[in-house]
Amino acid sequence: MSDAGSKASLLGVHWASRVNPILIRRLYQTDARGIVDEELIDAVGFALYARCESILQATEAHAGHIICPECGTLVKRDGGPWLKDAILECAQCGWQVPWEEYFKTYQHKHLVGGSPSHSTLSTSTASSMPARRKRKCWQSIGSSTRTIGS
């Protein structure tokens, strides 16, 4: 393949940043005054949703299930998250990147929900994972909202 370089891209990998707590505070304040600010509701709602999606996606990636940024196909990584030499390869479109480089796109962004036990959870209790993961997701984005809301 002569165009191997064009498929080895991380340009399609995007992670949502944390939701601005000032916006969340403003939402609570306007709501308390009975003001319905639809623009603000949309802004906070979409930001929370995007952040939640990123947390779920990064957590899945960490556990070995990566979404191909080119075509959306599930790419499975062999080995644990600390196996630096692993290569991610999409069977559908040929996208290919070293796992270590993909890992660096979400490293230090507080996107992986859970504890060191997470990798064992993902294989042994797969059926009970969604609710558990969602709760973790809300815990990691909602620490500021809980205090504001009380």
Residue 142 beta carbon to Zn ion: minimum distance, rounded to whole angstroms: 33
The 10 Å CB-count burial string (b at 16+, else e) for 29-55 is eeeeeeeeeeebeebbeebbeebbebb
Instruction: Say how many CA atoms lie within 13 Å of 56 toward its Cβ.
Output: 14
Which positions from 55 through 84 interact with Zn ion, judged by CB under 5 A?
68, 70-71, 73
Token readout for 108 is 């230090």
Residue 84 beta carbon to Zn ion: minimum distance, rounded to whole angstroms: 22
Number of residues that bind Zn ion (CB under 5 A): 8
Residue 15 beta carbon to Zn ion: minimum distance, rounded to whole angstroms: 18
Token readout for 53 is 């999606």
Contact 61, 75 (CB under 8 A): no
- The 1-40 contact track toward Zn ion, x by CB under 5 A, reads ----------------------------------------
- The 79-118 contact track toward Zn ion, x by CB under 5 A, reads -----------x-xx-x-----------------------
Q: Give the separation between CA 6 and CA 2, rounded to whole angstroms.
A: 9
52 is a contact residue toward Zn ion (CB under 5 A): no
Q: Interface residues with Zn ion (CB under 5 A)? A: 68, 70-71, 73, 90, 92-93, 95
